[in-house]
Structure 1
Amino acid sequence: MHTLTNNRMKFGAVAAFAVMLAAASGYAQKVSADLSQEVTSVGEAVQLNISVTGATGARVPGQLKVNGLQIDFAGRSEQINIINFQKTVSSVYTYLIVPLKTGDFTIPPIEVLINGQKYKTAPLALRVGASSGGFAGGQGQQGRARSPQSQMQAQMQALMQFMNQGVQPPQPQQIQPGQQSQGRQPSGDDDAEPAYGDLIIPKTSAYVGEVIPVEIRFYFNANYPTQLRDQPTFGGDGFTVMDFSKPTQREQEINGVPYNVVIFQTAITAVKSGPLEIPPAKIEGRIQVPARGSSQDDFFNGFFGGQGFGMTARDMTVSTKPSKIDIKPLPKEDRPDDFSGAIGQFSLDAKATPKKVDAGEPITLSVKVAGRGNFGAITAPTLLDAENWRSYPPNEKFTPSASDPIGYNGEKVFEYTIVARSDATLTPTPEFSFFDPAVEKYVTLKASPIAVVARGSSNATQTTTAQATSSPTPQAATPPPAAPASPETASDLVTSFRRGAFQPTLTNPTFLIVNGVAALALLGLLALGVLRAVANSEASQRAARLREVRRTLHAAEDPNKSAEEFFALAAEFVQGRLSIAGGQGSTRDMLESSKVSEETRTAIYALLNQADEARYAATHGTSLDREARHTYIQQLKKFDAQV
């Protein structure tokens, strides 16, 4: 027992050590990169952080090269966490990015070397626009704005100072609408602007219908407690505005003054061509400032009303400067016929499930449009080579990208229900056209058709009845005629009988005729009884099935049935009625070979198409008024009488 216990303890220790090693190796694989913000303006620095969890001594590039961006390594910091007696080390490698020009930039994957093994981060996207008001010039402080180079140097020095001291930079105060920041003690920069706004648009020109990302920033002097009341007001004539994202916040020092920066993201879409005037974005709040006497600064006297001493709270409205964009019309040249207004950069993909179906069974064809652009204007792609298929309006679902707070990036999936008319081996070909503003051209994408095995309704396998091959009935054996007795034999018989006077009964012709007629009569009676019994049984079964099918038609007459329920009952009635009439195969095959008039056949075909659309189409809630329902019922009754 003692030996067993020791062995168990040793095994447990080894297992625990193995788990710790596995956990450590798992942590070492956690390498990620992120930006402090995804939209900025020329000259305003953005922080790029590479996080390595569970490992130390990682090697990262000293400088990153992206045309139009200046990216320099700023330093490294470490954080140690102990959770459940397990130590985890996280290293953060920081770069400062200073945009040199406007545009959309992609920061490629960054290679990180850890213990001889290479890891790569995901690519990052950065949008750079021209600032509408400057870094400190939103409300008459243009003279205090710094150049991009001097601002980057100041931010670099501040960040290096924090890292050299071994402490983390201060976290921004969370100033959500309806909440209040605590502020700081006045620092002496009393002439610094208490609040201003900045409107950042990454484009100076765009097309009608194009989604234009917009970032609205409000800067609040961190020396004064501030409370925001609601989200910004933003809008105007000639464009629409998407819902604001959840606001984010950071702290930024401008000309030596600390500011809390509250950032809202949205997007606008122009609805007409020509110069587009974009009014200022505004936000309302309440700020606490030191009370001033009449001899103090005119700005505070005018804005805050002047108080004798202490702090005073004042309502305020912070605004950005207005902006302007040139909106161009979409070109008419080379516009595809199936273009429906999609503008952006997209990809197209398709898949089908299941890939093998019997006659009449549907296939779901999922077509995915992914990328970035005006997803709200994207309609269902066109299905080419679909003559052999019946298709119905698709379901659609949009899923935004996890990193995009405004729904500008993502994917939209359209799910078609298709049913083969005849045997098919390839699905229809999805086609999607859009306008790419980056290259200023129309683009048409086609997804490859998908190999399937679909049996069509016109070639449905019909149940065949095997014809039994009748084998010839063997005839009753006729006994050979008795050989005539020879004279010598006859002479030996009893002499009281005359030669040839005796004849057996079974060989008597009269006996054979009478009994044969009776046997035939009996067999006829038996066969007639069997046929009558079979006929009565089939007739009763058919009558019972007919009554059951007609109950379905009677249920469809209920005015309380929805349109979907009515069409489902009508299709069930048609299929059952044709089956009772001896039809085989799909409903449409049976209808095609039935004896109904051409007018009735056409009407029932139209009803079946309506039933399929109500069953498969994404747009449920099919309308069916009383008059149309009555017309369908009369057509079904006429069809019942003709079948």
Structure 2
Amino acid sequence: HNGATLQVPDPKAKDPERFGSLTLELSTQQRQYAYISEIAPVIIRAWLPMDAQVQLRSVIQPESKGFTLHNVTQQPQQSVEMRDNKQYRVLTWFGGISATKAGKHSVSLAMKATIAVPDDSQPALRQRNRPSMRIGGNFIEKELTLSTKDQEIEVRALPTEGKPENFSGAVGEFQFDGIEIPQQWKTGEPQKVALRIKGPGNFAIMQAPPLTPEELWNTYPGQDQFNPDDQASFSGNKIFQYNAIPRKAGNHPVTFTLHFFDPDKGAYQSIQSPTQTITVTGEDMVEEPQGEARENEKKPDIDPASIPAPSRDNNSATRSLSPWHTSAAFISLLSIAGLLTLAGPIGAVIQSRVNDPQRRKSMAIAREIAASSKTTSLALELRDATSYFAAARRTLQLHLSAAWQLKPEAITLADVQVRCATDSPLVAFLREADRYAYGAPPTADDWNALDARFQQALLSLPRP
């Protein structure tokens, strides 16, 4: 078996592995490298002496900061196996590891245990039919940490060449396994769409594929559910459900589009669900024209002949003989003219700010942040873990989008880890979100701590 062991020093034990060992093996040896955001399946084995008394005192944890351990099975499989002509009791866990930074990194795992083995220096009776089993005698007990030896793994960054514009970070090999799109729609009225995607890969960071053509739709965050096919949740299927509102009437061919990176092919892939034609009734939803569109609107034609000529009132009072520039009317008129002179540039500045595309984009992001934050708070009150993490992640992506000038959907945990410190509250919360996406839902005691981490992540956000 590939892997390494921690040698536990014991002056009374001639065998350096007398107290057991821990090994880490990649489930597939097709590649000698991994990609950022890829979850590589692993097998973890504890090799324990047949005559040992063992108490596990911790879960398996990574010792190196460059990797994250995912979905380790809670109950290990037990077996008896031979290695180096010795018989061992073997505990086997399945899980996955993912890298957080590109480069060559060492990975090691550790687990605390209390192990007692017979003291070979003391005489003890042996069973006649099982010489390896002792009857009576003293034991040597140790509290120790079983650990794998550092193994160097090359981690590659996802390539920039060929990266789709709307790539959201999904890494694996996926395909559509079913879609539900209503046949009849009406503009401005929401309906629910659903789809199921299956395959091996990192489902935790996969976001709901958009309906295309995207300009036809307004969509809103929904719910998703992952159903694992194996013990380590490495493969399975994920169901997405969300609301969509059509913007234009007519008969439209629509489909779902998913972009992902296939680590075995080393290339980005784009797949579409089968095209379905829908019928949308009602009037097209039209946005209020802004900026140049408003300036290009046709002005109404005015007939000069329709403007009445000024009239003179014969009953008006006698004209004043005072100089015209000293009259109160002239002074008032002069004041008004001054104000209008100042108002012109001020109005131009205000108009330019209103029509500024960057300002309009910032205002749109601010509105979406407010809506996403409201959804996060509501999900927290309802203890809806799926909606909470989806909305919280979206809120952070929107904030980062404003700061980094990137599309929110394109910002992944890997991007955040490259730009931010690995121990930042932002990275910590996103990792926590990934952990709960695969594992058990938060308990009642977890929710307050989760919200506190989310608030810390918001405070640590970079400023635009």
The residue aligned with 1:272 is 101
Amino acid at match of 1:208: I
Counterpart CA distance in 1 for 2:192 and 2:147 is 51
1:245–1:266 Cα contact (<8 Å) kept: yes
Partner of 1:430: 256
Whether the aligned pair in 2 keeps the contact of 1:229 and 1:284 (CA below 8 Å) is yes
CA contact (8 A) 1:241 1:267 kept: yes
Say yes or no: does 1:261 pair with 2:132: no
User: In structure 1, what is the equivalent of residue 81 of structure 2?
Assistant: 252
**Alpha carbons 1:367, 1:415 under 8 Å: kept:** yes
The alpha-carbon deviation at position 406 of structure 1 amounts to: 2.5
Counterpart in the other structure of 1:450: 276
Residue of structure 2 in register with 1:232 after alignment: 60
Aligned to 1:377, the other structure's residue is in SS state: coil
- Residues 540-589 of structure 1, C-alpha deviations (whole Å, 9 max, x = no match): xxxxxxxxxxxxxxxxxxxxxxxxxxxxxxxxxxxxxxxxxxxxxxxxxx
How far apart are 1:261 and its partner, in Å? 0.6
The AA in structure 1 aligned to 2:112 is: I
Q: Secondary structure of 1:345's match? A: coil
Q: Which residue of the partner structure matches residue 384 of structure 1?
A: 212
Letter in 1 for 2:172: G
1:340 counterpart residue number: 168
C-alpha distance in structure 2 between counterparts of 1:329 and 1:314, whole Å = 42
CA distances 1:141-169 after superposition (whole Å, capped 9, x unpaired): xxxxxxxxxxxxxxxxxxxxxxxxxxxxx
1:100-499 equivalence runs, <5 A: 131-133=2-4, 139=7, 193-201=18-26, 202=28, 203-246=31-74, 247-290=76-119, 292=121, 309-349=137-177, 351-357=179-185, 360-389=188-217, 391-402=218-229, 404-426=230-252, 428-458=254-284
Aligned pairs for 1:620-635 (under 5 A) are 621=378
The alignment-based identity, stated in percent, is 26
Deviations along 1:74-107, one digit per CA (max 9) or x if unpaired, are: xxxxxxxxxxxxxxxxxxxxxxxxxxxxxxxxxx
The aligned amino acid for 1:365 is: V
Give the CA deviation at 1:357: 4.4
- Render the CA deviation track for 1:423-450: whole Å, top value 9, x for unaligned: 3333633211111111111111112332
How far apart, CA to CA, are the structure 2 residues paired with 1:222 and 1:384?
60
Unaligned stretches of 5+ in structure 1?
1-40, 42-130, 141-188, 295-307, 460-605, 623-643
Deviations 1:32-83, CA, capped at 9 Å, x for gaps: xxxxxxxxx5xxxxxxxxxxxxxxxxxxxxxxxxxxxxxxxxxxxxxxxxxx
Say whether the 8 Å CA contact 2:112–2:143 is kept in structure 1: no
Q: Within 1, Cα distance between the matches of 2:85 and 2:215?
A: 71
Q: CA deviation at 1:293?
A: 5.4
Report which of the two structures shows the higher radius of gyration computed on alpha carbons. Answer: 1
In the alignment, residue 81 of structure 2 is paired with which amino acid?
Answer: Q
Size of the alignment, in residue pairs? 277
1:19-98 paired onto structure 2 within 5 Å: none
Structure 2 CA distance, aligned partners of 1:395 and 1:235? 36
User: What CA distance in whole angstroms lies between the structure 1 residues aligned with 2:15 and 2:108?
Assistant: 30
1:251 and 1:258 in contact (8 A); partners too: yes
CA positional deviation for 1:369: 2.6
SS at match of 1:376: coil
TM-score (norm 2): 0.52
Say whether the 8 Å CA contact 1:340–1:378 is kept in structure 2.
Answer: yes
Conservation of the 8 A alpha-carbon contact between 1:355 and 1:453: yes
CA contact (8 A) 2:257 2:273 kept: yes
Distance, in Å, in 1 between the alignment partners of 2:224 and 2:265 is 28
- Give, in whole Å, the separation in 1 of the partners of 2:85 and 2:137: 26
Partners in 2 of 1:191 and 1:340 — Cα distance? Answer: 48
Show the counterpart of 1:524: none
Q: What is the distance in 2 between the residues matched to 1:359 and 1:377?
A: 31
Quote how far apart the aligned CAs of 1:350 are: 5.2
CA distance in 2, matches of 1:271, 1:386: 31
* Contact 2:179 2:194 (C-alpha < 8 Å) held by counterparts: yes
**Mapped contact 1:280–1:319 kept (Cα < 8 A):** yes
User: SS in structure 1 opposite 2:226?
Assistant: strand
Distance in 1, matches of 2:66 and 2:17, equals: 36
What is the distance in 2 between the residues matched to 1:237 and 1:335?
28
SS of 1:375 mapped into structure 2: coil
- Alpha-carbon shift at residue 365 of structure 1 (Å): 1.8
- Are the structure 2 counterparts of residues 197 and 372 from structure 1 closer, same or farther at C-alpha, using a change threshold of 3 Å? same
**Contact 2:219/2:245, CA 8 A, preserved across alignment:** no
Question: What SS does the corresponding residue of 2:204 show, helix, strand or coil?
Answer: helix
Counterparts of 2:190 and 2:62 in 1: how far apart (Å)?
48
CA distance 1:361–1:394, shift in 2 (3 Å)? same
Inter-partner Cα distance in structure 2 for 1:216 and 1:191: 20
Q: Which structure is higher in RCO with an 8 Å CA cutoff and minimum separation 6?
A: 2
User: Displacement, 1:268?
Assistant: 1.5
Deviation at 1:291, TM superposition (A): 5.7
Query: Partner amino acid for 1:339?
Result: F
Kept in 1, the 8 Å contact 2:66–2:101? The answer is: yes
Which whole-Å deviations, capped at 9, do the CAs of 1:404-423 have from their partners, x for residues lacking one? 22322122222232233343
Cα contact 1:362–1:417 (8 A) shared by 2: yes
Structure 2 vs 1, CA of residues 353 and 250 (structure 1 numbering), >3 Å: closer, same or farther? same
- Give secondary structure in 2 for the equivalent of 1:374: coil
Contact 2:62 2:108 in 1 (8 A): yes
Q: 1:255 deviation in Å?
A: 4.2
Q: Residue 232 of structure 2 aligns to a residue in which SS?
A: coil
Q: Deviations over 1:84-132 (max 9, x none)?
A: xxxxxxxxxxxxxxxxxxxxxxxxxxxxxxxxxxxxxxxxxxxxxxx12
- AA aligned opposite 2:267: K
1:406 is paired with a residue whose SS is: coil
Q: Which whole-Å CA distance do the structure 2 matches of 1:427 and 1:618 have between them?
A: 31
1:466 matched residue in structure 2: none
Is 2:7–2:17's contact at 8 Å kept on the other side of the alignment?
A: no
Amino acid at match of 1:193: R
Matched residue type, 1:233: Q
Cα pair distance change 1:231/1:361, threshold 3 Å: same
Q: In 1, distance between residues paired with 2:65 and 2:17?
A: 34
One-letter amino acid matched to 2:53: P
CA shift, 1:320, in A, is 2.0
Matched residue of 1:433: which SS? Answer: strand
RMSD: 3.6
Q: Normalization by structure 1: what TM-score?
A: 0.39
Supply the AA of the counterpart residue of 2:239: V
